[in-house]
């Protein structure tokens, strides 16, 4: 239990506040959790701190990501439109903090550039900018028209601590296999046939853009190939010109055309992925599969080849990884359970210290950054009606993006 909850669930009962008061008196003002298993290590503690509200709305406000500029400003992005594949209806926004996440600016609206369905640079460039590649399936456009392996994709640049935004519409991605196209889906009008509006490539960049040893950019990208139209194919793409052009570099995980699905892989195949660099040439990837199972793979040659994908034994969506200043890997995910945070001291082979961050109603999409050595900010959404809009009769509830501070220390 956290000592503070994001206040967006409408009216709370008196019983809840009495229980919270008793627990607070029992546990004190902070909650300390020692890392996992029957024999938790004595040199490591987790302390869950306060929760702040980053942004809120009576309309859609969900699916956050969080990033930090080298000058200290923090940017939290969020989707403000329904969860649909619609090139006409994408709407996103972002808020900024100049005090380490304690307080936040108003929401700055955008098109699709601040969407979680994109990939973000984990370390700002020499110019101090944060870059985002893509914004969901609707952001890719076959170029030249008529073929299925080369696409234009949106590249968004955030600079001056979030005060300046530039978008490039004709960055390019080349894939090794023809991509399947699917009709747009409309959240509010699912009973209508939207296929006549437009079809879009079922392909998108996702997660972390990390630097290579030679200055190249690497990113996980998943798409549905025509030869296996039911399962995603998760690959690594590489850019040698700071995001202007990308080429498929290596296969992270996929189901071979003639093979059966492994039970843990689910029906969708690998998709949303978290990527982190362990050393100069070693990479680690966690990815979501069907049934919200999580798989993993390692690369020893900077992403060209990967170990056979295996199950982590965990469930979740949108996994996000960060290598912390103390050498730990931090990992956050959610669904089907609460938004959680866990840690690894052996490069992702074992995860311990599973810590509940938020157990209220949420899409379970989350992200994290290290705001200062040993201090994390975990962001997530709180949506009292799940994927549905807030009904007009409810005058109190709101959808919100929240952030919870967590300290992790090695003695």
- pLDDT (tens digit, 9 = 90+) per residue, 16-45? 333 333 333 333 333 344 343 333 455 779
What is the pLDDT at residue 381? 97
Q: Which one-letter DSSP state was computed for residue 243?
A: T
Q: Which one-letter DSSP state was computed for residue 225?
A: B
Cα distances from 356 to residues 166, 378, 408, in angstroms, run: 37, 11, 14
Which ranges in 177-253 belong to alpha helices (H)?
none
Count H helices, E strands: the chain? 1, 28
CB-CB contact of 312 with 330 (8 Å): no
Report CA torsion sign: 19, 21, 22, 26.
positive
Bin 215: left if φ > 0, else alpha if -120 < ψ < 50, else beta: left
Q: What are phi and psi of 277, to 5 degrees?
A: -95, 130
Arithmetic mean of pLDDT, 149-170: 96
Residue 291's SS3 state is helix
Q: Which one-letter DSSP state was computed for residue 14?
A: H
Task: State the burial class of residue 399 (Cβ atoms within 10 Å of its Cβ: 0-12, 13-18, 19+).
Answer: buried
pLDDT band at 300 (very low <50, low <70, confident <90, very high): very high
Q: Which residues contact 86 (CB under 8 A, 6 or more apart)?
A: 138, 184, 185, 186, 187, 194
Arithmetic mean of pLDDT, 255-267: 79
Q: How is residue 85 written in tokens? A: 């594949």
* Bridge-based pairing state of the strands 164-174 and 181-183: unpaired
What is the C-alpha to C-alpha distance for residues 263 and 52, in angstroms, rounded to an integer?
40
CB-CB contact of 242 with 217 (8 Å): yes
What is the C-alpha to C-alpha distance for residues 86 and 82, in angstroms, rounded to an integer?
9
Average pLDDT, the chain: 87
pLDDT band at 195 (very low <50, low <70, confident <90, very high): low
Domain spanning 53-355, CATH architecture: 6 Propeller (2.120)
CB-CB contact of 330 with 319 (8 Å): no
Arithmetic mean of pLDDT, 105-126: 91
């Amino acid at each position: 239990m956290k000592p503070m909850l994001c206040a967006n669930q409408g009216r709370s009962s008196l019983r809840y506040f009495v229980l919270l008061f008793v627990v607070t008196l029992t546990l004190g003002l902070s909650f300390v959790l020692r890392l996992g298993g029957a024999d938790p290590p004595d040199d490591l503690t987790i302390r869950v701190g306060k929760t702040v509200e980053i942004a809120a709305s009576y309309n859609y406000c969900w699916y956050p990501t969080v990033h930090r500029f080298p000058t200290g400003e923090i940017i939290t992005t969020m989707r403000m439109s329904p969860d649909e594949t619609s090139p006409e209806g994408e709407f996103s926004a972002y808020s900024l903090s100049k005090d380490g996440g304690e307080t936040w600016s108003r929401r700055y609206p955008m098109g699709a550039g601040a969407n979680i369905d994109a990939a973000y640079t984990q370390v700002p460039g020499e110019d101090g900018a944060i870059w985002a590649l893509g914004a969901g399936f609707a952001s890719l456009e076959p170029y030249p028209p008529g073929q299925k392996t080369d696409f234009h994709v949106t590249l968004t640049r955030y600079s001056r601590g979030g005060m300046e935004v530039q978008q490039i519409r004709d960055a390019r991605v080349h894939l090794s296999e023809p991509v399947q196209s699917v009709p747009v889906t409309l959240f509010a009008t699912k009973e209508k046939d939207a296929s006549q509006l437009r079809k879009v490539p079922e392909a998108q960049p996702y997660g972390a853009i990390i630097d290579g040893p030679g200055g190249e950019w690497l990113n996980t990208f998943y798409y549905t190939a025509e030869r296996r139209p039911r399962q995603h194919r998760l690959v690594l793409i590489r850019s040698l010109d700071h995001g202007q052009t990308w080429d498929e570099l290596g296969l992270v995980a996929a189901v071979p055309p003639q093979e059966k699905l492994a039970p843990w892989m689910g029906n969708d195949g690998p998709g949303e992925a978290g990527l982190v660099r362990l050393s100069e040439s070693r990479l680690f990837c966690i990815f979501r599969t069907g049934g919200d199972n999580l798989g993993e793979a390692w690369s020893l040659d900077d992403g060209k080849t990967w170990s056979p994908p295996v199950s982590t034994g965990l469930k979740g969506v949108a996994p996000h990884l960060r290598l912390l200043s103390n050498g730990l890997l931090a990992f956050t995910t959610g669904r089907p359970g609460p938004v959680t945070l866990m840690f690894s001291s052996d490069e992702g082979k074992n995860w311990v210290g599973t810590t509940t961050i938020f157990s209220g109603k949420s899409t379970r999409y989350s992200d994290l950054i290290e705001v200062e050595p040993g201090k994390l900010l975990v962001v997530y959404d709180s949506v009292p009606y799940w994927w549905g809009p807030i009904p007009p009769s409810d005058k109190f509830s709101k959808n919100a993006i929240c952030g919870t501070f967590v300290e992790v220390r090695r003695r």
